[in-house]
Amino acid sequence: MKVELSEFKDLAYRAFYWTSFSPEKRGEDTIKSHEEQLNEDLLNIPEEEKERYISNYKKYFSAWLSAHSRCASSAITGGSGFNVRRAEKANTSEHNRLIEFSEWREKALKAIAKKIEDNKPQSVKNSENWDRLRNDILSSAATIHGINTGIERGCSKALFVSNIYQKVETYAKHGNVEIVSAAIEEIRKFNETMSVVITERHKFFKLSEMAENAKATKESNAERENSEIAIPGGKVVQNWKENRLQIIFDEKPDSDTIRELKKWGFKWAPSVAAWQRFNNNNSIFALKQIIKYLKEK
């Protein structure tokens, strides 16, 4: 069912009353374009999320229209007595509401897309991940074959081999034995039927061992209890099951602290309300730098 924004018709008309020679037409066009945008967004949003998305969309849309209604153009109102300072202030307010609207929509759609992705069965995720990885492998392998046969000139074989290795290594570090094994098998098949892409002596063929070890570690960690330590303004959780080092603040950190967190590789995870990164020796070192920064503030 199509969602309409006709309830904002009068507001849209007032929004362009002092900025357009045809405020009704501008208002109607604005309503129509945003109806199309909203309904297009809803096509990819689960049913249980739609009501909240529509409500928030209308809130930001109406706030922007209200701010726009306070804007004026001297071409419409006439130059005599036109208050330039008031107009500039109104224009700034309108611009800020538009930015807020745009940023909210972008973040909301990303959050919904992530939730959909997170809720997919692991078998579906593995299948989609393998399809993407296989396409990448075959693309790089085809280029290497072209280099081997002299068709591709000016390309670095080592660069494409490294590209394949690094992408498969990522899955090995996550303990995804199935995908790593399939990737190795794909390269061996290409080596046998086309030309040698990666020699058996290359460390690429040891990635299955890395994946097995990572999987074993992951399974072992899943049984360990999380540990916590207090830090200035919050706490740190060593989440073994998720293999994450998480920083949880009592209140939202200031911009300087956020900049420091990002500098040391911590990313905001809304689903757990924490700044986190993989739980390894590098993250422990990074955490020490964050704690040092917080103590010196």
- pLDDT bin (cut points 50, 70, 90) of residue 79 is low
Whether residue 164 has pLDDT greater than 70: yes
Specify the pLDDT at position 80.
Answer: 64
- The radius of gyration of the chain's CA atoms, rounded to the nearest angstrom, is 27
User: What is the rounded average pLDDT for all residues in the chain?
Assistant: 94
The tens digit of pLDDT for each residue in 83-135 reads 778 889 999 999 999 999 999 999 999 999 988 998 899 899 999 999 999 99
Examine residue 38 and state whether it is found in any structural domain, yes or no: yes
The tens digit of pLDDT for each residue in 188-244 reads 999 999 999 999 999 999 999 999 999 998 898 888 999 999 999 999 999 998 889
Examine residue 185 and state whether it is found in any structural domain, yes or no: yes
Specify the pLDDT at position 297.
Answer: 81
- C-alpha 99/C-alpha 94 separation (Å) is 9
Examine residue 104 and state whether it is found in any structural domain, yes or no: yes
267 and 286 together in one domain: yes
24 and 93 together in one domain: yes
Specify the pLDDT at position 122.
Answer: 87
Q: How many domains does the chain have?
A: 3
Examine residue 1 and state whether it is found in any structural domain, yes or no: no
Cβ neighbours for 201, distance < 8 A, ≥ 6 positions apart = none
Tokens of 15: 């929004």
Examine residue 158 and state whether it is found in any structural domain, yes or no: yes
Specify the pLDDT at position 3.
Answer: 97
97 and 12 together in one domain: yes
Percent of the chain beyond pLDDT 90?
Answer: 85
The tens digit of pLDDT for each residue in 246-297 reads 999 999 999 999 999 999 999 999 889 999 999 989 999 999 999 999 999 8
Domain that holds residue 188: 122-220
